[in-house]
Amino acid sequence: MAALGSLLLFGLLLAAPTGLGQGPRRRRPPAPQSPLEKVAAQAELSLPQLAGRWFLVGVASRCSYLAEHSHRLEATAVTVTVPDGQSLAVSTFRKLAGTCWELRQRYLPAQAHGRFLLKGRGYGSKVDVVLGETDHSSYAILYYQRGHSISIKLYGRSSQLSDLVVEKFEQRAEAAGLSRDLIYYFPTYGFCDSADEFHILDETKL
């Protein structure tokens, strides 16, 4: 299960106040900017149009587990629904040791349209998500941030996308400080459509 979570998915302090009676109070320095704050969300985003089946095409990430096991990546499919018009219910299907697993997650609305919060298991598992770009009908580029670490995922309505879209994804990765040797592409065949009740990880109730 830990391996599945590592593959599927892939911060902020400062300032001490001055004491009273020590002259003028100093202003607290601003908190460091979150990397995702620099990323603009899709301007014209229609959540209902995101519903349906998507395929994970590529991931840009510094994740060491992903780098060490990139030769074992499995075809990954995603089903999206919009249960309330504001959040995304996402089911991710992939094989692990030859068995199909389903990971259920809920992308909750954050402070602005196109920004979401994803809660996972364990301490420090909160993930901020930004839908950076999509045309709704063929591709979507999403940013994920846990702490100060960013990963970027490219999804397609088809498991194979045009060179133009792939190049756009790679340029966005480089702009986020992720070089092209940190980009991993997933198999285009062998997808799972479902998982039995014993191979479902449900994180929607966390």
CA-to-CA distance for 95 and 193, rounded, in angstroms?
A: 10
DSSP sequence for 52-87: EEEEEEEEE---HHHHHTGGG---EEEEEE-SSSSS
Number of neighbouring beta carbons within 10 Å of residue 196: 10
Q: Which domain holds residue 99?
A: 45-191+198-202
Q: Is 13 part of any domain? A: no
Digit-coded pLDDT (tens) for 69-82: 999 999 999 999 99
The pLDDT tens digits of the residues spanning 187-196 come to 999 999 999 9
3-state secondary structure of 162: coil
pLDDT < 50: residue spans in the chain:
1-23
Is residue 157 assigned to a domain?
yes
39 token code pair? 């990323």
Q: Model pTM?
A: 0.83
Q: Classify residue 26: in a domain, yes or no.
A: no
7 within domain boundaries: no
| Residue 17 forms part of a structural domain | no
- pLDDT tens per residue across span 154-198: 999 999 999 999 999 999 999 999 999 999 999 999 999 999 999
Tokens of 161: 């996308």
Q: Rounded mean pLDDT of the chain?
A: 86
Kindly report the CATH number assigned to the domain that includes residue 123.
2.40.128.20
| Number of domains the chain contains | 1
